[in-house]
Structure 1
């Protein structure tokens, strides 16, 4: 599990660029995310068996307040919105992680990217059905990476891209060629990100 602010709306389009870059370098990568127009999201991934042979990356951001309010209506005694959000995130995480872990485990990792507001809370909530390492989930437990265990090549590359995400997104030789060739909705989101960050790019279109 990796804690990153990139899951937030202002910069989350960069995760699409990163995922596409990883797909170029590692053909088995699948990206599961809401709010980005991805083929796989936190709803349509449920129950799927075809991701067992993929290394998965899951984006978890703070739930929409309207969703939390619906849950609050079911648990009126609760006065802690963060606790309700943690329940929601745990359910989404368990569903997404289960696409290639648990009884579907075929040696592939699942990396969960989560908002820093909830990373520690979720890990210590006892709501997750899977064993987290500092960067991903691996099952069965005896194959779980230790704190000092080696990362896979994909995990190392993902960590590198996350660390340099903004520079990658602004790079004419990095993220730009990917961003300009995304499907229309994602391409529009990327161009909006470039504009908001005052990046000169129109000469490259």
Structure 2
């Protein structure tokens, strides 16, 4: 069944919210990167995971057939999102006040925002990790995908970013689980 990526984004966020209820998983509730258009995806990750310590994980969702998986474009996207997220608190443009928007919408509590602001004030990276979740396609085929394997090896070896690669497994119609692929790449 061919579904839109937004369907998978919501499913993944739902799985993660159930697994980690004390953390925040934000999809399209916010406009963090200076755009008022919620549909504009050009400068915004699919999901932000924020824990109580103010650590942020950028989660990007791609179909197995997506062109960015056949080249290293996804690494560039993740680095771009990491840069934008880490610099948002330095912006003086009201359009970029995404943390305040999260509080105003009741998405993140004030204590978490305080932790984020404290990290920023101390010059600590807000983004501690990134994750790529691949949906559709076959797990065994993805395991053998040389581009993914080399990309994962590169980001690990050169410490470009902390990256987990996961597979969204549909084990029954509309029933999903997430499988970590990192171990397969290390074999």
Structure with higher Rg: it is 1
TM-score (norm 1): 0.35
Structure number with higher helix proportion = 1
Q: Which has the higher contact order (CA 8 A, sep 6+)?
A: 1
Identify, as 1 or 2, the structure richer in strand: 2
